[in-house]
Chain A
Amino acid sequence: MIFKKNIADLTVVRNTRFNNRYFMLDLQAEEPFSVILPGQFVQVLVAGSPSTFLRRPFSIHSVDFASRRLRLLIQIKGEGTRHLSLLTEGAKLNVIYPLGNSFSLPVTKKVLLVGGGCGVAPLLFLAQFLNQQHIQPVILIGFRTRSEMFEIEEYSKFGQLLITTDDGTAGEKGLVVDHSLFQKERLDFGKIYCCGPVPMMQSVARIAQWHKVDCEVSLENTMACGFGACLCCITPTDRGNERVCMEGPVFNTKRLKWL
């Protein structure tokens, strides 16, 4: 599918701080959105932060087409994201959107979503989208600890929510891949969608491969442009080095060379 890329000033209508690492920006567009699909991302210009030269890529966390709003879930990592975390209502952000490919539709109704850390960002939009296709996914999310959990009710709206925490303060104790779901002899899903730290995605991909379940991951990568020109954000695939921003960010794990 060909997506028309836009470049526009969006208005911050809400900045929600979840904890000292995560915040969420609600952005209002003047023009109606055309097609935007789960898995796609945006490139945000961080104006007024001298040490932030390039745009910052963020997954689209959710879209409200009726009110022309999109949400970004952002982890504070450096000066650019710190600057964005301080934005207040009414601030303008120059955004290029939508970028990249999207998760593919499952051929089955038994779907598992696995997220950890900021990797949950594209999964809310995906869960929302699957619901519209009359699919209730199982959603497994890993947090460090109970006090760092956020948006639990949001995910619960769209499917069966399972949780792990590193310290066992909520859900099952351990990493997402330690969840009892994966200890069963048969993994009863037709498709797994996963986004999170690379070691987590690799582990989930290995489990999926073992159970012969189709698995898609959304990769994060440092990129200069986000629309296919700079060739910086490559990942090795069965077709050579491909651009995460164009041929990705969503890849079927069968095609990736990191397993």
Chain B
Amino acid sequence: MNDLSVNIAGMTFKNPVTTASGTFGYGEEFLDFLDPGQLGGIFVKAVTGKNREGNNYPRMAETTGGMLNSVGLQNKGVDIFCRDIYPKIKTFDTHIIVNVSGSTVEEYVEVSERINELEKIPAIELNISCPNVKLGGMAFGTMPDMAKEVTIAVRKVYKKILMVKLSPNVTHITEIAKAVVDGGADVITLINTLLGMAIDAERRRPVLSTITGGLSGPAIKPVALRMVWQVHKAVPVPVIGLGGIMNATDAIEFILAGASAVQIGTANFIDPRVGLKIIDGLGQYLERHQISTIKELIGALKTE
């Protein structure tokens, strides 16, 4: 039996396969398809201070090798999350990590403080990279000073493991990465969606109600791999990689580029059991290459 476990900022993950926020609901939506306890972890849908209805329909456009979305952080708010959702998911036998978002530094702090009180949540993922909200979101993740400011503010109130999810919509990803590590981030996750748009030529109109949206799926994988590799080299903290992972080979590529774990996103929509298939595939890869632990592969890309 090969060892798929990884350690990230003091947390042990039974395997490096987790699910990306916004693509796995609160885990409950997948219970007919898999036991969440088999996954390394679950990053649940973004939680904000208050209830958000999200953006208008249409919110989704299929594109070549991917999809655009402009959901806009629809969620019931932190009160409902703590009261109704947390009790149902806290029994899952895996790490439940909450994605925290907001429009202001104060909102990020308020939500983080509330999540800090939840015993079974070992970490949060600060979402400074959502491209689909008018205020906050990506605005924090594209300027190093603001990224650092929000990280420092949350670091003061959040006592457990602080992960920060970066936006790829920047010129120099390493500058943002260094800024959030300076601000106190324990882990960096990247990438969130790439800002894009789709046009209906027949109607001469944008497909999405918001005109632009976030691109995900295999179309963005090369960009994600490049950014994971750059950030892994630039900062001393662990990196969790995501962006278009569809199978075990994709996951291995991210690990070689420097990711200590991966998140599966859009692929969950097409195959709700894909996470389990990727876990199997990772085991087979180790066997085939006669490697005893997947930890050996983290950042093991040969570039000479």
Query: With A54-B62, A234-B59, A241-B53 as given contacts, are A224 and B67 in contact (CB-CB < 8 Å)?
Result: yes
Q: Provide the bound-state CA to CA distance between A52 and B67, in Å.
A: 11
Q: How far is the CA of A241 from the CA of B66 in the complex (A)?
A: 24
Neighbouring A residues of B33 by C-beta, 8 Å: 5, 7
Check if B69 is an interface residue, CB within 8 A of chain A. Answer: yes
Classify the secondary structure of A's interface with B.
Answer: loop
Question: Which chain B residue has the least Cβ–Cβ distance from A4?
Answer: B32
Interface contact tally, CB-CB below 8 A: 85
Q: Residue B63 at the A interface, CB < 8 A?
A: yes
Q: Is the CB of A53 within 8 A of B268?
A: no
Q: A230-B69, A231-B59, A232-B69 are in contact. Are A54 and B273 (CB under 8 A)?
A: no
Produce 1/0 per residue, B27-42, CB < 8 A to A.
Answer: 0011011000000000
Residues facing A in B44-84 (CB within 8 A) are 45, 51, 53-54, 57-67, 69, 71, 74
Q: How far is the CA of A224 from the CA of B54 in the complex (A)?
A: 16
Which residues from B are CB-within-8-Å of A53? 62-67, 217, 270
Distance of A7 Cα from B272 Cα, bound (Å): 9
Task: Give chain A residues whose Cβ lies under 8 Å from the Cβ of B59.
Answer: 231-234
User: Are B64 and A51 in touch, CB under 8 angstroms?
Assistant: yes
Report yes or no: B23 in contact with A230, Cβ–Cβ below 8 A. Answer: yes
Out of B30, B57, B63, which one reaches A229, CB within 8 Å? B30
Distance of A40 from chain B, by nearest CB (Å): 14
B273 touches A7 (CB 8 A): yes
1/0 contact string of A1-29 vs chain B (CB within 8 Å): 00011110000000000000000000000
Q: Is the CB of B268 within 8 A of A241?
A: no
Q: B32: shortest Cβ distance to chain A, in Å?
A: 4
Contacts of B217 in A (CB 8 A): 53
Task: Confirm or deny: B24 has a beta carbon within 8 angstroms of a beta carbon on chain A.
Answer: yes
A90 at the interface (CB under 8 A from B): no
- Per a CB cutoff under 8 Å, which of B53, B58, B64, B269 touches A222? B58
Q: Which residues of B contact A240 (CB under 8 A)?
A: 51, 53
- Asked whether any CB of chain A lies closer than 8 Å to the CB of B25, the reply is yes
Q: Which residues of chain A from 80 to 122 have a CB within 8 Å of any chain B CB?
A: 96
Q: Are B29 and A228 in contact (CB under 8 A)?
A: yes
Bound CA span A149–B53, Å: 42
Whether A192 sits at the interface, judged by CB under 8 Å, is no
- A184, B167: Cα distance in complex, Å: 60
* A221–B53 alpha-carbon span in the complex (Å): 18
Does any Cβ of A come within 8 Å of B101's Cβ?
no
Q: Tell me, in angstroms, the Cα distance from A6 to B272 when the chains sit together.
A: 11
Alpha-carbon distance between A2 and B71 when the two chains are bound, in angstroms: 26
What are the residues of chain B within 8 A of A234 when measuring CB–CB?
54, 57, 59, 74
Q: Does B15 contact A (CB under 8 A)?
A: no
Q: Does B266 sit at the interface, judged by CB under 8 A?
A: yes
Inter-chain contacts of A45 with B (CB < 8 A): 270-271
B residues less than 8 Å from A222 (CB atoms): 58, 60-62
B60: chain A residues at CB < 8 Å are: 222-224, 230, 232-233
Select one of A5, A7, A221, A224 contacting B69, CB under 8 A. Answer: A224
Tell me if A136 counts as interface (CB < 8 A to partner B): no
CB of A230 within 8 A of CB of B269, answer yes
**Are B57 and A54 in touch, CB under 8 angstroms?**
no
A222 to B57 Cα, complex, angstroms: 9
Alpha-carbon distance between A28 and B54 when the two chains are bound, in angstroms? 39
* Cα-based distance from A5 to B29 in the complex (angstroms): 10
Task: Give CA–CA (A233, B266) in the complex, Å.
Answer: 15
B76 → chain A closest CB, angstroms? 9
- Say if the beta carbon of A235 comes within 8 Å of chain B: yes
The reply to whether B71 and A230 form a contact with Cβ atoms under 8 Å apart is: yes
Q: Bound complex: CA of A232 vs CA of B63, how far in Å?
A: 15
Q: Mark B1-35, 1 if CB is under 8 A from A, else 0.
A: 00000000000000000000011110001101100
Minimum CB distance partner of A226 in chain B: B269
Instruction: Tell me which of B32, B45, B53, B61 contacts A5 (CB under 8 A).
Output: B32
Residues from chain A with a CB closer than 8 A to the CB of B53 are: 240-241
* A98 CA to B70 CA, complexed, in Å: 27
Contacts of B69 on A, CB cut-off 8 Å?
224, 230, 232
A155 at the interface (CB under 8 A from B): no
Interface pairs A-B: 9 shortest CB-CB: A232-B60, A225-B269, A5-B32, A224-B269, A229-B25, A228-B29, A229-B29, A232-B59, A231-B71
Residues of A within 8 A of B (CB): 4-7, 45, 51-55, 96, 221-225, 227-236, 240-241
**18 A-B pairs with C-beta separation under 8 A:** A5-B33, A45-B270, A53-B63, A53-B64, A53-B66, A55-B270, A222-B58, A224-B67, A224-B269, A225-B269, A227-B29, A227-B30, A229-B25, A230-B269, A231-B71, A232-B71, A235-B57, A241-B74
